[in-house]
Chains A and B, each alone.
Chain A
Amino acid sequence: MQKKIVTLAVSAALALAASGAYAADAGPNDVRVGAYFVHFDAQAGDISGPYTPPGLNVHVDSIVTLYLAYVRSFSEHFQAEFAVGYPPLTKTEGRGPATLGSVPYNGQVISTARWLSPTLLLEYVFGSASSRLRPYVGVGVNYTKFFARQSTAAGNAASGGPTSISLPASVGPAATVGLSYEITDRWHVYASYSVAQVNTKLKANTAGIVRTSEVHFWPNAVVLSAGYSF
Chain B
Amino acid sequence: MLRKIGVLWAAVAALGLAGCGHDSPTAAVATSNSRGSLQVDPAFRVASLNATDLTAQLNSQAVGQQLIQLAGTPACGVDVYYVKYWTVAPDNSPQLASSALMVPTGAAPQCSGPRPIVMYAHGTTSVSTYNIAAVTDSTNAAYSEALTIATVFAAQGYIVVAPNYLGYDISTLGYHPFVNGDNSATVMMDALTASRTALLSTFTPATTDDGKLYVTGYSEGGYVAMATVKAMQAASDVVTASAPSSGPYALEAFGDAIFFGQVDIGSTLFGPLVSTSYQHAYSNVYAQPSDLYSATYASGIDTLLPNAMSLTALFQSGKLPQSAFFDSTTPTSATGNTAVDTAADQLLALPSSPPYSASQAALFASGFGNPYLISDAYRVGYVDDAVVNQDQAEMTLINGGTLDSSNVALAATPALGLRQDLKLNDMRNGGWAPQTPMLLCGGDQDPTVFFSNTQIMAAEWAPYVQGGLVSVLDLNATPSGPFAALQGGFQATYAQLVTANGPTAIASYHGTEQPFCMVAARGFFAQVP
A residues neighboring B (CB under 8 Å)? 27, 29, 31, 51, 53, 66, 68, 70, 84, 86-87, 99-103, 114, 116, 147-151, 157, 160-165, 205-209, 230
B277 to chain A, nearest CB (A): 28
Interface contact A160-B44, CB-CB below 8 Å:
yes
Interface contact A208-B24, CB-CB below 8 Å:
no
B20-61 CB contacts (< 8 Å) to partner A: 20-27, 29, 40, 42-50, 52-53
B288 to chain A, nearest CB (A): 39
B407-458 CB contacts (< 8 Å) to partner A: none
A172 to chain B, nearest CB (A): 20
Interface contact B42-A207, CB-CB below 8 Å:
yes
Interface contact A101-B48, CB-CB below 8 Å:
yes
A228 to chain B, nearest CB (A): 10
Question: Which residues in B have their C-beta under 8 angstroms from that of A163?
Answer: 24, 26
Interface contact A161-B27, CB-CB below 8 Å:
yes
On whether A102 and B203 interact (CB within 8 A), knowing A29-B5, A207-B27, A208-B44, the answer reads: no
CB < 8 Å neighbour of B4 from A149, A209, A230 = A230
On whether A99 and B53 interact (CB within 8 A), knowing A31-B8, A68-B11, A68-B15, the answer reads: yes
With an 8 A cutoff between CB atoms, is B300 at the interface? no
The 6 A-B residue pairs with the shortest CB-CB distance, nearest first, are: A87-B19, A148-B21, A207-B44, A160-B45, A164-B26, A207-B27
Interface contact A160-B46, CB-CB below 8 Å:
yes
Number of chain B residues whose Cβ lies closer than 8 Å to a Cβ of chain A: 37
Give complex CA distance A66, B26 in Å.
31
On whether A87 and B24 interact (CB within 8 A), knowing A101-B49, A207-B42, the answer reads: no
Q: For residue A28, which residue of chain B has the nearest CB?
A: B1
Q: For residue A210, which residue of chain B has the nearest CB?
A: B26
Known contacts A148-B20, A164-B24; can you find 17 more A-B pairs with CB under 8 A?
A27-B1, A29-B4, A51-B82, A68-B8, A84-B15, A87-B15, A114-B19, A148-B21, A150-B21, A157-B203, A161-B26, A161-B27, A162-B24, A162-B42, A164-B25, A205-B26, A230-B4
Give complex CA distance A14, B203 in Å.
56
Interface contact A103-B48, CB-CB below 8 Å:
yes
Interface contact A51-B46, CB-CB below 8 Å:
yes
Q: Annotate B164-203 by CB proximity to A: 1 below 8 A, 0 otherwise.
A: 0000000000000000000000000000000000000001
Question: Which residues in B have their C-beta under 8 angstroms from that of A149?
Answer: 23-24
Give complex CA distance A4, B495 in Å.
76
Give complex CA distance A160, B44 in Å.
5
B6 to chain A, nearest CB (A): 11
Question: Which residues in B have their C-beta under 8 angstroms from that of A114?
Answer: 19-21
Interface contact B19-A86, CB-CB below 8 Å:
yes
CB < 8 Å neighbour of B84 from A148, A160, A208, A230 = A208
Question: Which residues in A have their C-beta under 8 angstroms from that of B25?
Answer: 162, 164
CB < 8 Å neighbour of B136 from A29, A66, A87, A101 = A101
B417 to chain A, nearest CB (A): 40
Interface contact A102-B49, CB-CB below 8 Å:
yes
5 contacts between A and B (CB under 8 A): A29-B1, A99-B53, A102-B50, A148-B22, A165-B23
A210 to chain B, nearest CB (A): 9
Give complex CA distance A153, B48 in Å.
15
B105 to chain A, nearest CB (A): 9
A70 to chain B, nearest CB (A): 6
CB < 8 Å neighbour of B23 from A29, A164, A207, A230 = A164
With an 8 A cutoff between CB atoms, is B400 at the interface? no
Question: Which residues in B have their C-beta under 8 angstroms from that of A116?
Answer: 16, 19
Count of inter-chain pairs, beta carbons less than 8 A:
109
B203 to chain A, nearest CB (A): 7
Give complex CA distance A206, B43 in Å.
9
On whether A101 and B53 interact (CB within 8 A), knowing A84-B12, A87-B16, the answer reads: yes
Question: Which residues in B have their C-beta under 8 angstroms from that of A87?
Answer: 15-16, 18-20
With an 8 A cutoff between CB atoms, is B77 at the interface? yes
Interface contact A101-B21, CB-CB below 8 Å:
no
B186-234 CB contacts (< 8 Å) to partner A: 203
Give complex CA distance A66, B25 in Å.
29
B52 to chain A, nearest CB (A): 8
Give complex CA distance A29, B8 in Å.
12
Question: Which residues in B have their C-beta under 8 angstroms from that of A68?
Answer: 8, 11-12, 15
Q: For residue B11, which residue of chain A has the nearest CB?
A: A68
Give complex CA distance A162, B27 in Å.
6
Give complex CA distance A208, B84 in Å.
10
Q: For residue A87, which residue of chain B has the nearest CB?
A: B19
Question: Which residues in A have their C-beta under 8 angstroms from that of B8?
Answer: 31, 68, 70
Chain B CB within 10 A, most for which of A51, A164, A205, A207: A207
Chain A CB within 10 A, most for which of B11, B18, B19, B20: B19
Question: Which residues in A have their C-beta under 8 angstroms from that of B44?
Answer: 51, 160-161, 206-209
Question: Which residues in B have their C-beta under 8 angstroms from that of A207?
Answer: 26-27, 40, 42-44, 82
Give complex CA distance A207, B30 in Å.
11
B353 to chain A, nearest CB (A): 51
Question: Which residues in A have their C-beta under 8 angstroms from that of B24?
Answer: 149-151, 162-165
Q: For residue A29, which residue of chain B has the nearest CB?
A: B1
Question: Which residues in A have their C-beta under 8 angstroms from that of B203?
Answer: 157
Q: For residue B19, which residue of chain A has the nearest CB?
A: A87
Give complex CA distance A53, B43 in Å.
19
On whether A161 and B19 interact (CB within 8 A), knowing A68-B11, A68-B12, the answer reads: no
Interface contact A147-B42, CB-CB below 8 Å:
no
B217 to chain A, nearest CB (A): 25
Give complex CA distance A66, B14 in Å.
13
A118 to chain B, nearest CB (A): 8
Interface contact B16-A157, CB-CB below 8 Å:
no
Interface contact B23-A147, CB-CB below 8 Å:
yes
B133 to chain A, nearest CB (A): 9
Give complex CA distance A164, B45 in Å.
15
B136-152 CB contacts (< 8 Å) to partner A: 136-137
Give complex CA distance A162, B77 in Å.
21
Q: Annotate B375-402 by CB proximity to A: 1 below 8 A, 0 otherwise.
A: 0000000000000000000000000000
Interface contact B27-A206, CB-CB below 8 Å:
yes
Q: For residue A158, which residue of chain B has the nearest CB?
A: B48
Question: Which residues in A have their C-beta under 8 angstroms from that of B53?
Answer: 99, 101-102
Question: Which residues in A have their C-beta under 8 angstroms from that of B27?
Answer: 161-162, 206-208
CB < 8 Å neighbour of B26 from A53, A103, A148, A162 = A162
Question: Which residues in B have their C-beta under 8 angstroms from that of A103?
Answer: 48
Give complex CA distance A199, B29 in Å.
30
Give complex CA distance A158, B44 in Å.
11
A186 to chain B, nearest CB (A): 13
Give complex CA distance A149, B22 in Å.
7
Q: Annotate B114-147 by CB proximity to A: 1 below 8 A, 0 otherwise.
A: 0000000000000000000000110000000000
A155 to chain B, nearest CB (A): 9
Give complex CA distance A157, B46 in Å.
10
Give complex CA distance A70, B20 in Å.
22
